Chain A
Amino acid sequence: MIASPLDLILISLRGTSLALELAGRPQAGNALNALANAAQAGVNIEAHMKTVADKLADRSATELDFEDVELRIREETDAILKA
């Protein structure tokens, strides 16, 4: 599968971060890595919301859709609170 441009940018960000750390600049490397993580989170959320938007373009949400998302929310919540 061909990576998207954002994937390539994120890979290069992490590569630059690693290079900075190896070059003896750990703070700059960590800052860049944190930025890459934040960008990754934004990309993941956007990807998920795209599937939701595509679904609603075809049809309305059903009772089953609500049940499904509730189940996923409960699972994630349990995992977070137990961490």
Chain B
Amino acid sequence: MSVITSINNNKTKLLGIATTVLGFIQAYPGLRDMMSASAFGWTMFVIGIGVSICGFLNSNPATAPGNTQNGFASHGMLRLLIAISLTATVLTGVTAVSGCTQTTRAYKQAESLPNRAYVAAEHYFAVLREARTIVNDPITPPQAKERIQAAVAAATPWIVGDPESVPRKPSLRALAAAYEAIPSAATATELQTAVDNAARLVADLLQAVRTARSPSP
């Protein structure tokens, strides 16, 4: 039995599952918090189209007399569905990677300088954890792995400190403690500079991670 025949024989079940999954995604209460307002709007639009397609396919008349499940799938229809799925996939991937809604919220939530330093450290850790997954993945090319290792070796001492380095690299924690002990212009400037530097290092590492995850040509 071919794949097309199999799909045709289970038309109602498959479309029922697809419609239920799309309905679940649409109704999920946390979805709005996961993405920006425009990404949420586009997601709802794509889901609406998906439900319409399911409805259209389900009402498509059967071509074989006596077989109400027939006439649903064809090679052309499957190609169209794969093309739509890939487009939705690309949109989802871009949204998930570049949305950064919660990261922006965390930085906004940190009103004081020490809190901003803490958010920068946590952001660095979050990216670092993903970097570890990539370097441990056997399919990662050696060049991508080395690039990530170089970015990590350069960045970590600036976040957690390295007392033996010249010039001295104090940790974000030490600079935040110094600022809280004596909240002067000098300690504020030093901490602010370290936070800005940490944000740049996070961006560098994120770039290395994204490059390693990009589909190879």
Give chain A's interface residues, CB within 8 Å of chain B.
4-6, 8-9, 12-13, 16, 30-32, 34-50, 52-53, 56-57, 60-61, 63, 65-67, 69-70, 72-74, 76-77, 79-81, 83
What 17 additional pairs, Cβ within 8 angstroms, besides A16-B85, A61-B118? A31-B215, A35-B90, A36-B89, A45-B123, A46-B34, A46-B96, A48-B126, A60-B112, A63-B177, A66-B117, A69-B125, A70-B159, A80-B135, A81-B149, A81-B152, A81-B153, A83-B135
Closest to A23 in B: B3
Complex Cα distance A38/B97, Å?
A: 7
B86 contacts A by Cβ under 8 Å: yes
B118:A34 contact, CB within 8 angstroms: no
Give A46 Cβ to nearest chain B Cβ, in Å.
5
Interface residues of B in 113-158 (CB under 8 A from A): 114-115, 117-119, 121-136, 145, 148-149, 152-153, 156
Number of A-B contacts (CB under 8 A): 179
Give B174 Cβ to nearest chain A Cβ, in Å.
9
Chain A residues with Cβ below 8 Å from B153 are 77, 81
B210:A32 contact, CB within 8 angstroms: no
Using known A-B contacts A52-B122, A66-B172, A80-B135, determine if residue A60 contacts B115 with beta carbons closer than 8 Å: yes
Interface-located stretch among B63-71, B99-107, B185-193: B99-107
* Interface size, B (range): 35 or more
B160:A74 contact, CB within 8 angstroms: yes
Query: Contact partner of A47 among B102, B125, B149, CB < 8 A?
Result: B102
Using known A-B contacts A53-B102, A74-B160, A80-B132, determine if residue A66 contacts B127 with beta carbons closer than 8 Å: no
Chain B residues with Cβ below 8 Å from A57 are 109
A70:B173 contact, CB within 8 angstroms: yes
Complex Cα distance A2/B182, Å?
A: 49
B171:A56 contact, CB within 8 angstroms: no
A4:B216 contact, CB within 8 angstroms: no
Counting chain B CB atoms within 10 Å of each CB, which of A50, A52, A61 scores highest? A52
The 8 closest A-B pairs by CB, nearest first: A61-B118, A31-B215, A42-B97, A66-B173, A5-B25, A53-B106, A48-B126, A39-B96
